[in-house]
Chains A and B, each alone.
Chain A
Amino acid sequence: MANTKIQIVENILSANDRIAEENLEFLNARNILSVNIMASPGAGKTSVILQTIKSLSPEIKIAVIEGDTAPVTIDADKVSKLGIPVTQINTGGNCHLDAMMVRKGLQSLELKQTDLVIIENVGNLVCPASFKLGTHISLVIASVPEGDDKPYKYPGIYRGIDCLILNKIDLLPYIEFNQDYFRKGIEVLNPGIPVFPVSCTTREGFDAWISWLRKKIQGK
């Protein structure tokens, strides 16, 4: 018997996208702003999160979801020390968070009166780009020692994001990093995106990032 052709035309990750959509509704119903933080390992995700908490807490009520590939609680412990509710998702070696893991993370947090949920994705510049989590803001933290060519080498991760943090700018005098070249790449991939150069060590540049984020929280 001849085969029957069934037209589908569905995004292969539509199942993930649907759950991401539900996550977003869950957060909207509670009036919570959420941020998905992506970066390579060592770019300073946890450091930026800690600085951000110090700048906004206790006025803004924050909760954190930590994505890790192994059951190591180093990052979660640092957040917890600041008195912030944190839940850790162990991806079991998987290279990214997906919407279902975030759903479980959200369910395990006490979110009454929370204003902001920060999600630290697994350190990786490739895989997290494909998986929507259902956050209001997705951002990438790039860092000076990684080099100015990252947008050219890992275009996927810079495409769908809402803002970019360039961390470790205190190292600019010691490292060859052409900011123009870096920004040109970002501009092609994501025209008009806000870029915040910061240093977690000196706190330089943090005010601009914090005031941008604060506006987003107030706009909720």
Chain B
Amino acid sequence: MHELSITESLLNTASDYARKNKAKKVIVLNLVIGELSGIIDESIQFYWEMISENSICEKSILHFDKRKAIMKCMACNNEFELAGELSPCPSCSSMDLRFLSGNEFLLESIEIEK
């Protein structure tokens, strides 16, 4: 549900940069989304088509670069990918874990037509 506000924010940011760079239109948006960011790319896509209509971003393509959730075990220094729910270190079963990545939620670049 919160994807609508997020998509609106995305449209504003992309349109700002497009105008600053004197774009005629935006062709592609490259996004980075971490698995733990709580953002669902399909809903972003759904809202995007709705709200980008009649804007400089109309008919632009969203590219999602999805980043895995990587954990580090503080007991044995093992780094591992989290599969779904929070789970213990697969090599030593410790729950003393830290997050290394997976929170990302960025607009990395846009491709425009001048």
Contacts and interface: CB of A to CB of B under 8 A. Distances in A.
A3 B85 contact: no
B21 A127 contact: no
B12 to A, nearest CB: 6
Nearest to B12: A15
A12 B9 contact: yes
A152 B9 contact: no
A180 to B, nearest CB: 10
A7 B108 contact: yes
A184 B95 contact: yes
Contacts of B37: 130, 156
Interface in A154-182: 155-156, 159
Return the 7 tightest CB-CB contacts between A and B, nearest first. Answer: A127-B2, A3-B111, A95-B1, A156-B38, A152-B86, A188-B97, A7-B109
Given A4-B112, A151-B86, A188-B97, A12 B6 contact: yes
Given A4-B114, A156-B38, 14 more contacts: A1-B113, A3-B28, A6-B21, A7-B108, A8-B13, A9-B109, A10-B107, A12-B6, A12-B31, A95-B2, A96-B2, A130-B2, A131-B5, A155-B36
Interface in A1-25: 1, 3-16
B106 interface: yes
A189 interface: yes
A14 B39 contact: no
